[in-house]
């Protein structure tokens, strides 16, 4: 028996070497329904479940899941498990809600994580973000949405409170008629909120200064004409002349504003990536493919209002930049997701099962 066992092991290792370990495991997975009774017999015969599963390259958790699928198999469930016997899984109602949210025309320009945040905040779903991703993949709901995966960059500076670090930059956008517009924005580092914006057909210091003034007056509630002091503020800009010029410098000096203007990658080691990512989001999801010139102003206004007040930001989970800017304490809170959703369990238990499960 010992010699026979070692001969079997050699044959087993040879087969794995020929077809490959990954292919071998795929064969096991595909034919699990036929193999489970034989594996159970081996376990009963040798009495060492861990050794047999390890030899086959199957984890204990994976084998338990296979057994559960065979025991509670149901073709009506997305995860092939009976609703009545396993009522904690996502209900049909939640799946329909997910489909509705992910195909909503008003949110097709949002990232999937933002749609999840919106659904949780409004009490429409009760599932973790990872579960949302899992079911979205199963339902292939991402196929109808704009896919965008930016390159991962090193984390830049992070503020500990609103209105302590701002970012300022300009981006170019061309309309359908090839008319060139410059978009000027001022963004809060902590909340990612776009505090002020302007647009013009030329790149100049006066428009740049106008958006900065508006951000200061609206956020701090000061009258710059009356030379009221502004709390200490770090303002990070790129090295372009639109941000670094006599007009902006004189404004900071003459009005005695407590602003410390820093040039990214020159005065500080980090880049101005936060404001750049907001422009990228705007052009990818809102002003994409070029829009007619007579619609540009309206679309730009809508995109900034949507980003600020309606669309949950990935960094804030279920909250918008405006909510975090107004209530900084929300930054530290996580959405409360019930571990066991009572409505879901009740609905799944009442689900009509063709097998007559009780």
Quick one: 290 exposed, middle or buried, by C-beta within 10 A (0-12, 13-18, 19+)?
A: middle
Is 242 a residue whose pLDDT tops 60?
yes
Average pLDDT (299-325) is 95
Q: What is the pTM of this model?
A: 0.70
Average pLDDT (247-264) is 86
Average pLDDT, the chain: 86
Handedness of CA 24, 29, 31, 36 (dihedral sign): positive
In this prediction, residue 213 carries a pLDDT of 93
Average pLDDT (228-238) is 84
In this prediction, residue 21 carries a pLDDT of 79
DSSP-derived 3-state class of residue 262: strand
Mind listing the pLDDT tens digit for each residue in 175-227? 999 999 999 999 999 999 999 999 999 999 999 999 999 999 999 888 777 66
Tell me the percentage of the chain whose pLDDT exceeds 70: 92
In this prediction, residue 338 carries a pLDDT of 64
Position 79 confidence tier, pLDDT thresholds 50, 70, 90: low
* The three-state (H, E, C) secondary structure of 286-312, written as one string: CCCCCCCHHHHHHHHHHHHHHHHHHCC
Mind listing the pLDDT tens digit for each residue in 2-19? 788 778 778 878 887 888
Angle at 10 between CA 8 and CA 11, to 5 degrees: 65
Which of 131-135, 153-157, 324-328 ranks highest by mean pLDDT?
324-328
In this prediction, residue 145 carries a pLDDT of 66
Position 138 confidence tier, pLDDT thresholds 50, 70, 90: confident
Average pLDDT (238-256) is 87
């Amino acid at each position: 028996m010992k010699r026979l066992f070692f001969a079997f092991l050699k044959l087993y290792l040879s087969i794995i070497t020929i077809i490959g370990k990954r292919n071998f495991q795929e064969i096991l997975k595909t034919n699990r329904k036929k193999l489970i009774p034989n594996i159970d017999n081996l376990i009963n015969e040798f009495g060492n479940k861990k050794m047999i599963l390890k030899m086959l390259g199957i984890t204990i958790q994976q084998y338990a899941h296979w057994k559960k699928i065979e025991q509670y198999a149901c073709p009506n469930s997305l995860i092939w498990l009976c609703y009545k016997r396993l009522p904690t899984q996502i209900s049909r109602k939640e799946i329909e809600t997910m489909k509705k949210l992910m195909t909503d025309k008003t949110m097709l320009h949002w990232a999937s994580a933002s749609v999840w945040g919106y659904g949780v905040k409004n009490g429409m779903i009760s599932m973790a973000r990872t579960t949302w991703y899992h079911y979205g993949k199963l339902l292939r709901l991402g196929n109808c949405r704009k896919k965008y995966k930016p390159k991962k960059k090193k984390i830049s500076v992070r503020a500990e409170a609103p209105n302590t670090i701002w970012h300022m930059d300009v981006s170019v956008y061309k309309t359908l008629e090839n008319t060139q517009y410059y978009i000027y924005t001022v963004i809060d580092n902590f909340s990612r909120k776009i505090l002020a914006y302007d647009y013009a057909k030329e790149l100049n210091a006066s428009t740049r200064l106008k958006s900065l003034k508006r951000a200061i007056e609206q956020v701090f509630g000061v009258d710059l004409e009356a030379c009221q002091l502004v709390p200490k503020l770090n303002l990070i800009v790129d090295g372009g002349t639109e941000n670094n010029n006599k007009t902006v410098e004189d404004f900071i000096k003459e009005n005695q504003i407590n602003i410390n203007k820093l040039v990214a990658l020159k005065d500080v080691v980090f880049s101005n990536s936060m404001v750049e990512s907001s422009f990228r989001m705007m052009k990818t999801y809102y002003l994409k493919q070029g829009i007619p010139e007579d619609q540009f102003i309206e679309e730009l206004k809508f995109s900034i209002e949507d980003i600020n007040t309606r669309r949950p930001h990935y960094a804030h989970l279920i909250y918008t930049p405006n909510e975090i800017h107004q209530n900084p304490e929300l930054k530290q809170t996580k959405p409360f997701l019930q571990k066991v959703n009572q409505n879901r369990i009740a609905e799944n238990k009442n689900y009509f099962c063709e097998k007559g499960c009780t």
